[in-house]
Amino acid sequence: MKIPNHIVLFPDGNRRWAKQKGLTSLNGHKQGYNNLLDFSEWCKNKGVKILTAFGFSTENWNRTKDEVDYLMGLLEDCLIDNLNRYAKDGVKVRVIGQRERLPKSLQEAIKKTEEATQNNSNLFLNLAISYGGKWDILNAVKKIIEEGTPADKIDEKLFESHLSTAGLSAPDFIIRAGGEMRMSNFVLWQAAYSELYFSPKFWPDFNEQDLDEALIEFDRRTRRFGK
């Protein structure tokens, strides 16, 4: 079976899952982040090398202050509380996105986690926090302009080296749970030739068997890259 080297994950449907069960949206987010940890382990065990997961988008800042505050705290706890698990599983963690917008305590938790896991090599977990695909592209453009690079020297390779995912291979497979079928402003440049897979299941209900079914579908596909 062909296993994707790099999977992008939309862990979508946490709030709808909670509503369906008569729980608060905060309960849904908590269950969703717990499932992400399990999903990371499943990916590692199946030979996936890079997992990029959407944690909090640039648009999510428009949610209520209570929900945003809860999510910031949840992200912080998920990073710090799982350092031993990252070490045991050999997971290297990196956060991409607008770090300057995040609470200081979360910024510190990100720094501590990245430093503690930097030598792990079984799985590269890329967490997107305050991330947007349009922001990523515009940010790359700004950095290239600031460097004074002549227009005739700018090519795809140089541009990609200024994206937040610089140094990583392009995503092979994008999995979105929750029944929605759109890219929602995530890795827009990077996903140019990614295979797309949409699951109707809300993310907290997405299990290892669902991942296996997605990987079987990936294995069926022929990637031509326009050839």
Which residue among the candidates 27, 60, 122, 139 is catalytic per the annotation? 60
Any known ligand binding at 195? yes
Any known ligand binding at 147? no
Any known ligand binding at 82? no
Query: How far apart (Å, rounded) are the C-alpha atoms in residues 110 and 79?
Result: 7
Any known ligand binding at 182? yes
| DSSP, res 172 | S
Residue 1 burial (10 A CB sphere; 0-12, 13-18, 19+)? exposed
Is 60 among the catalytic positions? yes
Any known ligand binding at 63? yes
Any known ligand binding at 17? yes
Any known ligand binding at 16? yes
Is 207 among the catalytic positions? no
Query: How far apart (Å, rounded) are the C-alpha atoms in residues 76 and 107?
Result: 8
Which residue among the candidates 12, 89, 136, 172 is catalytic per the annotation? 12
Query: How far apart (Å, rounded) are the C-alpha atoms in residues 141 and 98?
Result: 15
Any known ligand binding at 25? no
Any known ligand binding at 146? no
Q: Which residues are catalytic?
A: 12, 60
Which residue positions form the known binding site for Mg(2+)?
Answer: 12, 195
Annotated binding-site members for substrate: 13-17, 29, 57-59, 61, 63, 176, 182-184
Give the residue ranges of the annotated binding site: 12-17, 29, 57-59, 61, 63, 176, 182-184, 195
